[in-house]
Amino acid sequence: METVIVNVTDDNQDSEQIREKILAAGRIIKQGGLVAFPTETVYGLGADALNPQASRRIYEAKGRPSDNPLIVHISSMEALEKIAERVPEQARKLAEKFWPGPLTMIFEKKELVPLETTGGLETVAVRMPGHPTALALTEAGGGFIAAPSANLSGRPSPTTAKHVAQDLKGRIPMILDGGPVGIGIESTIVDFSEEIPMILRPGYLTEEMIRNVIGTLRTDPGLKTENPRVRPRAPGMKYRHYAPKGELILVSGAGEKVREKINELARKAGEEGRAAGIIGTDETRGEYRYGLVKSIGTRADEDTIARRLYGILREFDELDVDIIYSESFSTAGIGQAIMNRLLKAAGHQIIEV
């Protein structure tokens, strides 16, 4: 299958031209096809969420396990009422504060949503994305777009159209290129299908930001343990994920000791003839003496780290490194989501110094 990459940024185009392109993408979705598109978090791979055959195509294109449910993207509150059985008051408050934006909420589903979209579950995950292209495509595609991140299953989520093409070129008919995303890490998922709301996936919106709006909030205990018998509640959180091709090892501890350890490990890897990559920060990159050193951003603004996280893993893939050593980050605020993704990408390999 030929994959067309369509530019939807406003350089040298007027809004009418962009609108035409998005309408064409919407027609592909309405006919049951797949379109990758930018959101403010990561690129998504969209299909008509109410069409079981279309949802099946998403699983096929990504190589995704069929028990891993999809997020349904909407562009209005009326759409939410059509697919969610019961929307608690607290969820409405969150929607008012954070939608459109990087928040996904889970509700009991109505009949209208096929089990193919929810991975066989009686609940549905819903998000109103904050990116204008994502909202426009949702409308043009019929109002309900099922969209996981637009990567092959297990690979780092895409934050540019080029990343999407690396994984899905030849497997889908269209990629809308809206340039690099603003956030770089997926939405925060809050489950409202049971009595007490629960965070199932940390994301750009922090626990504190959500608790400030709704008060009571729990975090899935399955996220915080490595005990394989305690499974995370979001099926997608149980798989090794976001993984680069090379092995990834995190080093955690006091700053200077971490740098010493990484230097030592990278030197040894070099001596063994293995190509090593190092993930440092703007503050520390100058202190590494071995291997290929890259900065993931500045500790003074951790949003920069979130934005570059998946891209840096893909860059090391292109450089064919055998092993990547990375600094660790504090788990306060957005750091919680950053460390969640890094730990998963590393298959939980972490060295404490």
Chosen residue from 88, 235, 253, 333 binding ligand TXA by CB under 6 A: 235
CA distance 270 to 283: 24
Q: Quick one: CA dihedral 161, 175, 39, 329, positive or negative?
A: negative
CA dihedral 254, 258, 260, 265 (to 10 degrees): 160
Interface with Mg ion by CB under 5 A: which residues? 149
Contact 80, 95 (CB under 8 A): yes
Minimum distance from residue 164 beta carbon to ligand TXA (Å) = 11
Q: Which does 159 bind (CB under 5 to 8 A by kind): Mg ion, ligand TXA, none?
A: none
Q: Which does 143 bind (CB under 5 to 8 A by kind): Mg ion, ligand TXA, none?
A: none
Give the nearer residue to ligand TXA in terms of CB position, either 186 or 302: 186
> Sheet of 247-252: strands edge to edge?
292-295, 276-280, 323-327, 247-252, 350-352
Helix (H) or strand (E) holding 276: strand 276-280
CA distance 102 to 80: 16
Q: Which stretch binds ligand TXA (CB under 6 A): 28-36, 81-89, 166-174, 234-242?
A: 234-242
Give the nearer residue to ligand TXA in terms of CB position, either 151 or 328: 151
CB atoms within 10 A of CB 166: 17
- Beta-strand relationship, 71-73 and 145-146: antiparallel
Per-residue interface string for the shown chain with ligand TXA, residues 262-301, x marking contact by CB under 6 A: ----------------------------------------
Chosen residue from 23, 121, 209, 213 binding ligand TXA by CB under 6 A: 121
Chosen residue from 130, 158, 236, 297 binding ligand TXA by CB under 6 A: 236
**Residue type (1 letter), 24:** A
Q: Which stretch binds ligand TXA (CB under 6 A): 11-19, 34-42, 88-96, 248-256?
A: 34-42
For ligand TXA, the binding residues (CB under 6 A) are 39, 41-42, 44, 68-71, 102, 104, 106, 118, 121, 123-125, 127, 129, 147-149, 186-187, 189, 200-201, 233-237
